[in-house]
Every structure is written in C-alpha cells, then in structure tokens.
A and B are shown apart, each in its own frame.
Chain A
Amino acid sequence: MTEPGIKDKTAIVGIGETRYYKRGAAPTPEFQLALEAILLAVEDAGLTVEQIDGFASYSNDRNDPTRLAAALGLPQIGFSNMFWGGGGGGGSGAVGNAAAAVAAGYAKYVVAYRSLAQGQFGRFGQGSQAKASTYPMSYTQPYGLLSPAQTFAMRVRRFMYDHNIGHDALAAISLASYHHAQFNPRAIMYGRPLSREDYDNARWIVEPFRLFDCCQENDGAAAVIVTTPERARDLRQKPAIIMAAAQGSFYRQGAPAHNAPDYGTSNFKGVAPLLYELAGIAPKDVQVAQVYENFTGGVLMSLVEHGFCSPDEANEFCTVENLTWPQGKLPINTSGGNLAECYMHGLELITEAVRQIRGTSTCQVQDCKISLVASGPMVSPVSSLILRA
C-alpha cells in the first residue's frame, strides 16, 4: 500500500518564459505568447513537443488547452484543468493540479502555464467601465471601490491596525523586489533601482499603498513542465522535486461585500499549515521564498501566515536586511517578482523557485535545498508550493 499524496512523486523539469514587456508592448498576440513559452519550456526540459499531454492554468486564462493542443499538433491530451478563482491565487495551484494529474497517471508531461497580455485585453488596474453592477459588485463598485488595490488595501489597513505594523515593513518588501531585479536582466525594472526616498516620495494609489507597493501591469507568458522524477532522469535539467502543494480558502473568505469573518488575512491560514504537513518540513527549513506581490501588504500577511514570523514580530522581521539576497534570513522574490521583474501573474515566481533549486538564479541562495512559493494573497482560493533539490 503506497502512501496517499504527491510528496516527492513529481518534479518541475522545464521552465519557459517569453520576453517580458510593459503592458501594450508585446509584439505578438497573447495566444502566440502562450505557445512560445510552452515551446521554450519543452526545449529547456529536453522533451519533444509531442510528449506534452496535459495542461493546467488558473485565473480564467483565455488560452484554451484544446486550442493549444491542436495548434501544437499534440497526439492527445489526458488532462486539461482550470484552477477556479481570480488574481494569482492559482499559480501554485495549477502546478499542484499538474502534479496530481501526473501522480494519478492521467498524463505524463503536464504544462502549467499563464499567458497574459494586459495591453491587449484590458488592465487589471482599471475599474469596470460597465454601466451597471450586480451582486456582489453592486455593494462596492457604486462607491468607487473598483480595483484590486482598493479591494485589498481595506484588508491590509485592518491587519496593520490590529498588529500595530508600520510602513517600514511594506517599504522593505517593495525594496527587496527592486533590489533583486537589479541583478536580473529579464526584469522590467532592471537598471531602475528604487531607493527608500523614491518609495516614500511616490504618490499614493490608495492608502496604505503608494505606487511602489503595487504590482506592474505587463504582457508575457510563462510555462513549467511537470513529470515524475523517474522520467526526469532522461531529461536535460536537474529536477525541482515537488515536496508539497496545497490550495484552498479559509472559513467564509469568499463571503460577499467584505464579510469574511477573519478579515485582516492573506487567506493562507488553512493552506500553509497543510502545505508544511504534506511536505514534512517546518517554516525554518525554507531557504528562499517567492511570495506573490499583488501589493506589499499581501506579502506581509503571507509571510506571517506561512510561519516566518508572528504578526507581532512583523515589524522586526520585514526589513530590507532580512528579505534581501545574499545576507537575508529569508530572501524573497529573488528575480524581482511581480513588482519589479514582471507581473506574469505569479508564474514567474514559480520559474524563479525552480531556478533556486537548479542553482541558476541571478540572486542564487547558496546551497539552496528548499524553495517556497506563495500564490495570490487575499484572493479566494489561494495556493502554495514547496520545491526541493
């Protein structure tokens, strides 16, 4: 009788990313970006395209798996999966679903992908231009509460109030991403360092978020390929073994009109403990973390809920020194992340987590054995992932 679960049964063996663009700057349509990223991941892995037999994505990706399979001339697919929910909540979830499919035998080489050209289909940072709103948006949009920043600033405000957290913590999270982007030529903000003075002088978007607390809006695509460690032996790259993936949502986090009983939360209070239990490790074992930054305040709460510090320690833990490579206790978002590399909807955080295991990051943590990803704070559902060497 084998143990239930997927621990150590699958691995990420290929990663692919298009060039990353500012929104509106991609020279090719979103669907072509998806194809390019998938082909790059196939090449990186050392597979042939015909071996791909499954797809998993999230956030209602527009690029349908069966169209991808038809376009790529795939013999057949055994898995086509969409993680419910919006924002970046499904980044790790899509990888987790791909891993589950591989472990279950539904498919052998599953691509988890995200292609997003905000310049071609509308910006996440803009409010609805519809004439009318209905349940549940009718309880927020008529009051000018329209964008993700506005939706989540309210949660972060309450968390900071409850735990007496100051602006330095948010600033440190932003500065960490921008610091790491300066080493990464792929990053949109490469060559554009951010000082604390720049951060403080930036305009308010919605209090408590200033401009550099907010993610970018970009065009691009990224993909990773999941298979078994046994199959990985015949492939080109050192596999990043998937120790655990967890997904979900805590008690009534989906309640309408900001009525989640536990409000000042990133929504990892159920997911993170399960993640560690499935992986069989503790937060102290994590050497590097990619923590989805829609907004810095979400990272703050994600760090707390993944056990890296208590709420009351957050002011002391969230410093530039602690969060930056190479000396930090826990370097986060070592490629520059959503804030400073590219808002590839958090799939670029997964490729970076893989690079840390391979030893190929531009901010490589020494002897990195365990690498964590947290996807989508404050949305519902959310997901997390732990990779090992």
Chain B
Amino acid sequence: MTTKTMRDSYLPPGLPAPRPSPDGLDAPFWAAAKRHELLVQRCNACNGSQWGPEFICFRCRSFDLRWERVAGRGRIFSWERIWHPVHPALKDACPYLVVLVELPDADNVRMVGNLLGDAMQQVEIGGAVEAVFEDHPDEDFTLVQWRVVE
C-alpha cells in the first residue's frame, strides 16, 4: 500500500485538534493515523466493518471487535464547498472543500475529510479518491485527507 503524505496543512492551524476519546474507544485509530495507516473497526464475530467506532457491533451485537487496516481508497459520497467562516482560524481560508468518502473495502463506511487541491475544482459524487495523511507534528496528530485519483 502506498501512503501519500503532505507537508503543509489544507486548513490553517487553530481548529479543534482531534484527541483520542477519554474512554479509549478510538485511540488506535489516531495512533495509526500518525503511522500513516488507516484503520476501521471490524467485528470478530460477523466480520462487518463500522465507523465511527462503537463498543458493540451494530449488526450482531458482539463486543469482540478489532481494528483492521484498510486501503486508503474511496468514493465521494457527498461534498460541500464552505464559503462562510465560522471559526477565527478560517477567516482567510474560505472557500474550502469538505467531502464525505465511502470506503468500498470496508462495507462502505464513511469518513469526513477535506478534498485537497483547488477549492473551486468540479467535484463528482462517485468520484475515486485516495487518502493523504496530513501530519501536525507540533500538536501530535495526523488527519486523514483525500484527493482525487487522476
């Protein structure tokens, strides 16, 4: 699996930094992102994937869940171009793109991220995208971003 990385962040610093849930639910996801690995939760009983994580499998109600690495490839399920900044950090960052990406390799679970590149690009629902890991070393987290597969 190839991993893409980027030096500069898509949005300026200052937005709420992601921190693992205090109850431990999603710590492995954020730790893996820093290693540039994409994990989703998978059930050991029925093998179904789910995202966001939960303490129980919604399909078969098993508590026996694992974390599994999945390919960083997906399809755009929905998207939006944001023009009005609702946070001081975004004052000069608009417009920007947010996409909802489904992962065909993980039962079509969906992840939210930014669509890298020109904010005015034409965005196609169903379009193929790949994960890009965006490191924030000063704040000790990595975001999973997306870009269109050429």
Instruction: Give the residue name and chain of the A residue nearest to B21 (CB).
Output: A135
Per the bound structure, the CA–CA distance linking A155 and B112 in Å amounts to 13
Is A135 a contact of B26 with CB atoms below 8 Å?
A: yes
The residues in A between 228 and 265 inclusive whose CB is less than 8 angstroms from any CB of B are 252, 255-259, 263
B-to-A contact residues, CB < 8 Å: 11, 15-22, 25-26, 30, 50-54, 58, 77-84, 86-88, 90, 93, 95-96, 98, 100, 109-114, 125, 141, 143, 145
Per the bound structure, the CA–CA distance linking A40 and B34 in Å amounts to 57
With contacts A135-B52, A145-B98 taken as known, whether A258 is within 8 angstroms of B110 at the C-beta atoms is yes
With contacts A150-B98, A257-B51, A259-B109 taken as known, whether A142 is within 8 angstroms of B16 at the C-beta atoms is yes
Subset of 15 A-B contacts with CB under 8 Å: A125-B86, A127-B90, A129-B88, A134-B19, A138-B21, A139-B111, A143-B113, A143-B143, A144-B90, A145-B98, A146-B87, A154-B98, A157-B80, A206-B84, A256-B52
B138 to chain A, nearest CB (A): 13
Is B17 a contact of A133 with CB atoms below 8 Å?
A: yes
Is B78 a contact of A161 with CB atoms below 8 Å?
A: yes
A-to-B contact residues, CB < 8 Å: 125-147, 149-150, 153-155, 157-158, 161, 203-208, 252, 255-259, 263
Per the bound structure, the CA–CA distance linking A157 and B58 in Å amounts to 27
Contact of B51 among A133, A153, A259 (CB under 8 A): A259
Instruction: Give the residue name and chain of the B residue nearest to A129 (CB).
Output: B87
Q: Which of B16, B17, B20, B22 has the most A CB atoms < 10 Å from its CB?
A: B16
Is A134 a contact of B98 with CB atoms below 8 Å?
A: no
Instruction: Give the residue name and chain of the A residue nearest to B25 (CB).
Output: A135
Contact of B77 among A145, A150, A153, A158 (CB under 8 A): A158
A80 to chain B, nearest CB (A): 30
Instruction: Give the residue name and chain of the B residue nearest to A133 (CB).
Output: B16
A123 to chain B, nearest CB (A): 9
Per the bound structure, the CA–CA distance linking A144 and B141 in Å amounts to 16
Contact of B87 among A126, A136, A256, A258 (CB under 8 A): A126
Per the bound structure, the CA–CA distance linking A313 and B110 in Å amounts to 29
Is B52 a contact of A136 with CB atoms below 8 Å?
A: yes
Which residues on the A side are within 8 Å of B112 (C-beta)?
139-140, 143, 145, 257-258
Sample of 16 further A-B pairs with CB below 8 A, known A125-B86, A158-B125, A205-B84: A128-B87, A129-B88, A130-B16, A132-B19, A135-B25, A135-B52, A137-B16, A140-B112, A144-B93, A145-B82, A146-B15, A154-B79, A207-B80, A256-B52, A257-B112, A258-B100
What are the 7 tightest A-B residue pairs by CB atom distance, in nearest-first order? A256-B52, A138-B18, A133-B16, A135-B21, A204-B83, A127-B86, A127-B87
Per the bound structure, the CA–CA distance linking A258 and B99 in Å amounts to 11
Which residues on the B side are within 8 Å of A161 (C-beta)?
78, 125
Per the bound structure, the CA–CA distance linking A257 and B11 in Å amounts to 19
Per the bound structure, the CA–CA distance linking A143 and B16 in Å amounts to 9
With contacts A136-B52, A143-B98, A252-B58 taken as known, whether A131 is within 8 angstroms of B16 at the C-beta atoms is yes
Is A259 a contact of B77 with CB atoms below 8 Å?
A: no
Is A138 a contact of B19 with CB atoms below 8 Å?
A: yes
With contacts A131-B17, A134-B19 taken as known, whether A155 is within 8 angstroms of B143 at the C-beta atoms is no
Is A203 a contact of B86 with CB atoms below 8 Å?
A: no
Which residues on the A side are within 8 Å of B141 (C-beta)?
142
Instruction: Give the residue name and chain of the B residue nearest to A211 (CB).
Output: B84
Is A204 a contact of B81 with CB atoms below 8 Å?
A: yes
A249 to chain B, nearest CB (A): 14
Contact of A142 among B15, B21, B93 (CB under 8 A): B15
Instruction: Give the residue name and chain of the A residue nearest to B114 (CB).
Output: A143
B94 to chain A, nearest CB (A): 9
Which residues on the B side are within 8 Å of A256 (C-beta)?
51-54
Which residues on the A side are within 8 Å of B84 (C-beta)?
149, 203-206
Contact of A144 among B26, B114, B125 (CB under 8 A): B114
Contact of A158 among B53, B78, B145 (CB under 8 A): B78
Which residues on the B side are within 8 Å of A255 (C-beta)?
52, 58
Contact of B86 among A143, A147, A154 (CB under 8 A): A147
Which residues on the A side are within 8 Å of B110 (C-beta)?
257-259
A201 to chain B, nearest CB (A): 14
